[in-house]
Amino acid sequence: MATPLPSSNSLPPARKRGLALRWSTWLVAAAIIGYGVAIAMHWDDRGLLWLQERFESKVEQQASIWLPDYQVDIDAKVLPGMEEDEASDLSYNPVSKTLFAVMGKNPFLVELTLEGDVLRKIPLVGWSNPEGVAVLEGGRLAIVDERAHKMTIVTLAADTRSLNITDFPQYDLGPSQNQNKAFEAVAWDPMQQRIILGEERPPALFTWRSDGHSPLTGDKQALPSEELDLRNLSALGVDPRTGHLLVLSADSNMLLELDEKGEQVSFMTLLGGFNGLQKRIPRAEGVAMDEKGTLYIVSEPNLFYRFNKP
């Protein structure tokens, strides 16, 4: 016959005090860890923005991108043959109606259909670590090399099969607060005629005036970055309809919408169970939006996502 376990009432007082102290210690430790994770993930900021979203009118929502309404319709499609290449950024070309992505580990540019099918792969000769790409005007693209701290403006034709960095103008992006986590993101803002640049960590924004055609003049200028409540900045995109900025963070599992004043408008979490996602986007590294408002994301190593509003 099994011996019954002693009840808490039958334990000696010293044993009771020991158990109570142990539980208290565990609870305090769990609370400290939970608080640290919440601060690191900026859950407090996300909670405030979530409350703010609840009070936005339908008119205000329609005047913005409004990320909470988006649902995935292509979920984690594999880009074949790129498992070892690490997708690093994404940009939409309104002329060809295609997407361009850069691969950082083995440098090349890839053109994709809007369904995530590969059209062509273009080797990037001379680049060491291309992390950002933006489609400008007249067949030009800006490619940011994080390791070299440079931006190169290339010209791409329909029959281009290779690009050599020595054939195109390069622009020094200057030192960063963290040289190992430097300029990673770039986007073209046609409304305000400017290139927007983003540093990975700590997240920071800069602009460079440009018409998208001529060589760049002057230097980059800092933008207010207080609204970047993110652990890192992975990529940037611009909505061609509203001019609002999309800021992607892989470490925060977050996509953030900023208005023309740089203020937070809406956000979308990239975890499984949200916005139709079956699983968390492993490491979101590129974002783009077309003139219809369709949203595209690429993740390391070689995953493609597309989101639409129902």
CA distances from 209 to 71, 89, 221 (A): 34, 21, 9
The pLDDT of residue 51: 56
pLDDT band at 18 (very low <50, low <70, confident <90, very high): low
**CATH code for the part of the protein at 57-308:** 2.120.10.30
Query: For residue 8, which amino acid is it?
Result: S
* β-bridge mates for residue 135, sequence order: 141
Amino acid 264 reads Q
Evaluate if residue 280 carries a pLDDT over 70. yes
Nearest 5°: the CA angle 32, 35, 37 is 110
Reported as a pLDDT band with limits 50, 70 and 90, residue 46 is low
Which pLDDT belongs to residue 31?
47
Is the CB of residue 255 less than 8 Å from the CB of residue 246?
Answer: yes
Domain boundaries defined on the chain: 15-55, 57-308
**Predicted pLDDT of residue 30:** 47
Q: Give the pLDDT confidence score for residue 84 in this predicted structure.
A: 83
Confidence of residue 126 (pLDDT cuts 50, 70, 90): very high
Q: With 70 as the cut, is the pLDDT of residue 57 above it?
A: no
Instruction: List C-alpha distances in Å: 26 to 15, 23, 35, 39.
Output: 17, 5, 14, 20
Which of these, 183, 231, 229, lies nearest to 207 by C-alpha position?
183
Is the pLDDT at 38 greater than 50? The verdict is: no
Query: Residues 259, 65: contact at Cβ < 8 Å?
Result: no
Which range is least confidently modeled, 27-31, 186-190, 283-287? 27-31
Q: Does residue 40 register a pLDDT over 50?
A: no
- The whole-angstrom separation of Cα 84 and Cα 274 is 28
| Residues ≥6 apart with Cβ < 8 Å to 262 | 205, 223, 224, 225, 227, 245
The token pair that represents 60 in the structure block: 């205000």
Q: Give the tens place of pLDDT for each residue, 62-103.
A: 778 999 999 999 999 999 888 888 899 999 999 999 999 999
Mean pLDDT over 279-290 rounds to: 97
For 23-35, b/e burial (b = at least 16 CB within 10 A) is eeeeeeeeeeeee
- CB atoms < 10 A from the CB of 52, how many? 12
Query: What local confidence, expressed as pLDDT, does residue 79 receive?
Result: 94
Whole-angstrom distance, CA of residue 246 vs CA of residue 101: 16
